[in-house]
Amino acid sequence: MELRRSRSFLVGGIAMLAFGVFMLLYGRADDWFHVVGSLIISGLSLLIGGGLAFYGLRPFRLRIGPEGLTVRLPGVNRLVPWAEIDAIILDQPLPVFVGRKTPSPLLLLVPSSRSTLDRPLTHRSPLDDRPCLVLLDLEVVRQSTSAVAAGLARFGGTRFTDFRQVTRQRFDSPDFTIGLHGYAPARVDHLIKRGQAALISDVLLERYGAKAVIDQAREDLPIASRGYDREQVDAFLEELSAALARWDEDKREAG
């Protein structure tokens, strides 16, 4: 499976360069104030456009196959066999509390003891906190996250973990006791499904929307003649609500 680089950076860079050239040639004015303003806007557009175009034209290759990962990224330009990879994890960073941009999924690689990869291990595995490197930000590829996950599962086998699903499975299929005068199962099941879907979302508003619905519903859950144990449901929904309320503290502080 060959991943393809997204063209969005290159297209955006070309558009900014074209705008900068247009402002330089035609953004004339009669007074110095507007002339200087046009030159500043033109210069910034050319600078940003050049940076985006350069990023979009950098060498890139990532092929997922039975032998391993064929990589051409900054600092790595070779086949990384599966024997050198102890784990590869598809992680969805927590939404950022401030700022509009939602984080894109990351491909994390935990090298094995036999690995000769010479890149700094700047991150920690969300599974077991082992040092790992960020192999790829999936924002830069054309394939969907689900397609990349399917390719890694096919060739990576047990080395691959989709941490988005691990997060969701923590709250999957709760085994509530059925008893007299418990919470109505249909309503509880609906709330849990909404929370599960929001947990793997990278959209902050979706997470907080689901949390608000769950918190409001907990105040007046309908009672059935035979339903879920109230204490178990209350504890479960409280934990689910707390998980939905989390965001990336590091990025929040940086913002």
In this structure, the number of other CB atoms found within 10 A of the CB of residue 25 comes to 9
pLDDT of residue 189: 92
Task: Take residue 188 and report the two structure tokens written for it.
Answer: 């509880």
At the topology level, CATH places domain 61-163 in: PH-domain like (2.30.29)
Residue 254 has pLDDT above 60, yes or no: no
pLDDT digits (tens, 9 = 90+) for 52-104: 555 555 666 788 999 999 887 777 788 889 999 999 999 877 655 544 456 77
pLDDT digits (tens, 9 = 90+) for 146-192: 888 999 999 999 999 988 777 777 777 788 999 999 999 999 999 99
pTM for the full predicted model: 0.59
Give the chain's mean pLDDT: 79
Give SS3 for 97. Answer: coil
Query: What are the beta bridge partners of residue 182?
Result: 224
Task: Take residue 131 and report the two structure tokens written for it.
Answer: 């040092």
Residue 38 has pLDDT above 60, yes or no: yes
pLDDT digits (tens, 9 = 90+) for 94-127: 655 544 456 778 899 999 988 888 888 888 998 8
pLDDT of residue 34: 63
**Which residue pairs, CB below 8 angstroms and at least 24 apart, start in 65-73?**
65/1, 65/155, 66/155, 69/135, 71/135, 73/135, 73/136
